[in-house]
A and B are shown apart, each in its own frame.
Chain A
């Protein structure tokens, strides 16, 4: 069975500081991995995804994530946080495209 673990339900960073959101997954086969962002009162939007190929994936708004098979991780980073990055971030895994398993989310606060 697949599962996704996001360490830390809340993260506060200062504006301009590094953002690091952690995601670990369990999967019996090479997974497809996703990061979604949810702004208040909105649906989830895709930030980036890993399917095959290059393990460092670049997404929108300056975010990137690296697939590390040996660590079963797919951490999301951004070098410099902006106030507009304040949102909820969800990691998700899918093996077949039939089911998406979401983590519990990490709420990011950016302090001016």
Chain B
């Protein structure tokens, strides 16, 4: 059963530490999204890639966040340095889009707590 895999599922770290979250999209999907979910803001789009190229990262704090797709099977979201306000659940989602709206398949999320 194809699914989006995210690691780690849970991460507790101290302020100032680097955090890297990883996502393995569903094989064959050409688009990967990163979302952040908090009680206050709901689901926020951070960045997304099509065919590994970044299309939009306007939702990310540029000074501390970075997103990459080193290859088609791996997307990463890095926070350096982390801050308590970054505490949230980070979701990766992938989909196959060819000019029409496909559907998003979400991973189970990475719950980040920054102390």
B-contacting residues of A (Cβ < 8 Å)? 32, 34, 36, 41-46, 49, 51, 90, 94-100, 102-105
Alpha-carbon separation in the docked complex, A98 to B95 (Å)? 10
Q: Which residue of A lies closest to B50 (CB)?
A: A98
Range, interface on chain B: 20 to 34
Looking at the assembled complex, report how far the CB atom of A50 sits from the nearest CB atom of chain B, in whole angstroms: 10
Chain A residue numbers with a CB within 8 Å of B109 are 41-43
- Show the binding face of B for A, using Cβ within 8 Å: 4, 31, 33, 42-43, 45, 48, 50, 55-56, 91, 93, 95, 97, 99-109
* Known contacts A94-B101, A100-B33; A43/B108 CB under 8 A: yes
10 residue pairs from A and B, CB less than 8 Å apart: A41-B108, A43-B107, A44-B106, A46-B103, A46-B104, A94-B101, A97-B102, A98-B55, A98-B97, A102-B42
Instruction: Report Cα–Cα, A99/B4, bound state, in Å.
Output: 19
| Residues in A neighbouring B33, C-beta threshold 8 A | 100
